[in-house]
Amino acid sequence: PFILSIAGGGSTYTPGIVKSLMMRLEDFPLAEIRLYDIDESRQNTIAPVVEKVIRDHSQSIKFTVTGDPETAFSGAHFVFAQMRVGQYKMREQDEKIPLKHGVVGQETCGPGGLAYGLRTILPMVELIDMAERYADKKAWIVNYSNPAAIVAEGVRRLRPNARVLNICDMPVAAMRNMGAILGVDRHKLQVDYFGLNHFGWFTRVLVDGEDRLPELRRHIARFGLLTEDAAQTDPQHADPSWVKTWRNIKPIMDHFPEYLPNPYLQYYLMPNDIVAHQDPNYTRANEVMNGREKKLFAAAEEYKRSGILPDAFHVGVHGAFIVDVACSLAFDLRQRHLVIVENKGAIANLPYDAMVEVPAYITSEGPEPVRMGAVPLFHQTLLMQQLASEQLLVEATIEGSYEKALQAFTLNRTVPTMQHAKAILDDMIAANRDYWPQL
């Protein structure tokens, strides 16, 4: 049985991930679960909830809660990483500062994602170093930390040999919705997909060898990538703002019907629409703080008082997916999953060393990307511009370069002019002074 450490143990996602683990103990046996966080007070609030989830399924799994890296990682076989540098208070800044300048306010797309990248790359590398120092030599770090595209590129540059697999639940969430629409379990879908994280397209959706994309296209033309009543999405994506996000796939496919876009492309392809519908004083960060966060903290409180744990956390593809990936790594299952990997020719007309999101067979030595061939000029061009923006941001972080940061902001499709880029960057430098390297 494995020792698993969850870095970012105080996340509101932790109970859902642990619940997914408990549902899969036969496939992924566990001797110990350790929570590690630098915010010990937050982690101590969540920990009793996590412990209860474990004890409902197992008396034998050891449970450890710590702020000490050595205790957290010694001998660990797996590390699940989900850090949020600056927490929701900084997510709020990532979203509100661009909006103040009339630009999309989003935690991973546009200037918000770039700012979050500048905060996260170096702490992520620190976490990798600590894990490598103490964990089992064959340990895998499975990383959900955002902004995943930039974090993946930063890790590739700074720790190219680390056993880190970067993942995102968005493609698999899209597959869940496809399955719900088609009436097929998502595990029965085999998809082709190319792109960068939060910036890609599905090109085929096979069920028993038959491409069901034409059928999905007809459905999306009416409802977006959601079932008609939206009821079959899991709770993580049931908020009205997420429902809108899934529905917004429709206008993109109305214009470019060939491939099915990752929903995040709406921020790059129709930024004006998005900004027009965003409230600059109340963004997604506020929704999450007042929704998901409050609900779980209240449940923790209630559990402490009454011993009864209200059903207040999300169990869905987010937790299921990371467990699937870990199983495939652990037992060399070679399952096909959409993950973030070094390109190495998988997308023939993108750079060999770009960090791309494509299907890969997950072996115990890591992902083996599947070849998606060359992509059309339109998509290649969008991808190259986004890639350049993200790579410059990584270089800005490593070199402490203001100029490269400004180039990264200017190249981002959500940013209309270099003057916008500079104004936003300067506001962000002030807001991030406790977190960014000196530019």
Q: Is 81 in the site for ligand G6P (CB under 6 A)?
A: no
Nearer to ligand G6P, 235 or 416 (CB): 235
Residue 173 Cβ vs Mn ion, minimum distance, rounded to whole Å: 9
Rule CB under 5 A: say whether 355 interacts with Mn ion: no
Compare residues 49 and 174 and give the one whose CB is closer to ligand G6P. Answer: 174
Tokens representing 43 are 């982690």
Among 141, 167, 170, 226, binds Mn ion (CB under 5 A): 170
Backbone phi and psi for residue 203, each to the nearest 5 degrees, phi listed first: -110, -20
Q: Which does 77 bind (CB under 5 to 8 A by kind): ligand G6P, Mn ion, none?
A: none
Strand partners, 376: none
Interaction of residue 288 with ligand G6P, rule CB under 6 A:
yes
Task: Please give the residues from 147 up to 176 whose contact with ligand G6P meets the rule CB under 6 A.
Answer: 168-170
402 is catalytic: no
Give yes or no: 264 in active site.
yes
Minimum Å gap between C-beta 228 and ligand G6P is 22
- Please state whether the peptide bond connecting residue 437 to the residue before it is cis, i.e. omega within 30 degrees of 0: no
Q: How far is the CB of 233 from ligand G6P (least distance, A)?
A: 12
| Candidate residues 11, 66, 93, 146; the one interacting with ligand G6P per rule CB under 6 A | 146
145 binds, among Mn ion, ligand G6P, none (CB under 5 to 8 A by kind): none
Is residue 20 near ligand G6P by the rule CB under 6 A? Answer: no
**99 touching ligand G6P, by CB under 6 A:** no
Separation between Cα atoms, residue 284 and residue 282, nearest integer Å: 7
Least gap, CB of 410 to ligand G6P (angstroms): 24
Please give the helix or strand (H or E) that residue 247 lies within, else none: helix 240-247
Closest CA to 13 of 301, 318, 406, 387: 318
The answer to whether residue 131 forms part of the interface with Mn ion (CB under 5 A) is: no
Binding map of ligand G6P across residues 404-433, x = CB under 6 A, - = no contact? ------------------------------
Choose the contact partner of 216 out of ligand G6P, Mn ion, none; CB within 5 to 8 A by kind. none
What DSSP line would sit under 385-398, residue for residue?
Answer: HHHHHHHHHHHHHH
DSSP for 134-199 reads: HS-TT-EEEE--SSHHHHHHHHHHH-TTS-EEE--SHHHHHHHHHHHHHTS-GGGEEEEEEEETTE
Strands 140-143, 78-81: parallel, antiparallel or unpaired by DSSP? Answer: parallel
d(C-alpha 269, C-alpha 307), whole Å: 49
CA dist 241 and 61 (Å) reads 38
Query: Which residue among the candidates 37, 169, 324, 427 is catalytic per the annotation?
Result: 169
Q: Distance between CA atoms of 348 and 315, rounded to whole angstroms?
A: 37
The minimum distance between CB 337 and Mn ion, in angstroms, equals 14
Within the chain, how many helices (H) and strands (E) appear?
Answer: 18, 13
Enzyme catalytic residues: 169, 264
Kindly list the residues in this chain that would bind ligand G6P in the complex (CB under 6 A): 108, 146, 168-170, 284, 288
